């Protein structure tokens, strides 16, 4: 692992989202309505993503709110396989990932590899829309890259 570099020195764009995995989405939306609402609530299911080297489907229930320009994403795992399921099965709830919007998700995956980050969940929705979750040993926080055209849909299938 390259000890001279860090996320802070790679020139990442500003953070655009903090994702929280919750056990009860409706209760969490009510609890945080005054801080981050109003919420945009939608089905965040992802079919046939590459999850830990194999194809997997997941059903997620998602709400997006804001703190200024920062998105606050609440995610309830419903069924299937994803990092959200792992998080809940480990008895955890709360901050799960941070998201960066990038022009080249695959390029950023390669740039983070020397820091020990490996993609664990990946989906190319179409030619210009991709998401990737990356983790590294000993670090509980996941890094997400979202590649999507500016002005794209508010949620664009991302999680």
Enumerate domains of the chain plus CATH numbers. 7-147 (3.10.180.10)
Q: Helix count (H) and strand count (E) of the chain?
A: 3, 9
For 1-45, what is each residue's pLDDT tens digit? 445 567 778 889 999 999 999 999 999 999 999 999 999 999 999
For 132-156, what is each residue's pLDDT tens digit? 999 999 999 999 999 998 765 444 3
* DSSP-derived pairing of the beta strands 15-21 and 70-80: parallel
- State the pTM of this model: 0.89
Q: How far is CA 16 from CA 75, 101, 143, in A?
A: 16, 7, 12
Of the candidates 108, 58, 55, the one whose C-alpha atom is nearest the C-alpha of residue 84 is 58
């Amino acid at each position: 692992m390259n000890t001279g570099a860090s996320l802070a020195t790679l020139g990442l764009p500003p953070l655009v989202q903090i994702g929280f995995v919750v056990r009860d989405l409706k209760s969490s939306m009510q609890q945080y309505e005054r801080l981050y609402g109003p919420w945009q609530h939608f089905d965040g299911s992802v079919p046939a993503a590459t999850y830990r080297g194999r194809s997997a489907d997941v059903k997620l229930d998602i709400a997006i709110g804001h703190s200024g320009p920062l998105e606050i994403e609440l995610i309830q795992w419903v069924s299937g396989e994803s990092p959200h399921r792992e998080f809940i099965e480990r008895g955890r709830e709360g901050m799960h990932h941070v998201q960066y919007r990038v022009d080249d998700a695959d390029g950023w995956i390669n740039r983070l590899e020397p820091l020990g980050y490996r993609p664990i969940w990946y989906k190319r929705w179409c030619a210009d829309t991709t998401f990737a979750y990356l983790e590294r040993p000993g670090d509980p926080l996941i890094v997400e890259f979202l590649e999507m055209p500016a002005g794209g849909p508010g949620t664009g299938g991302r999680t």
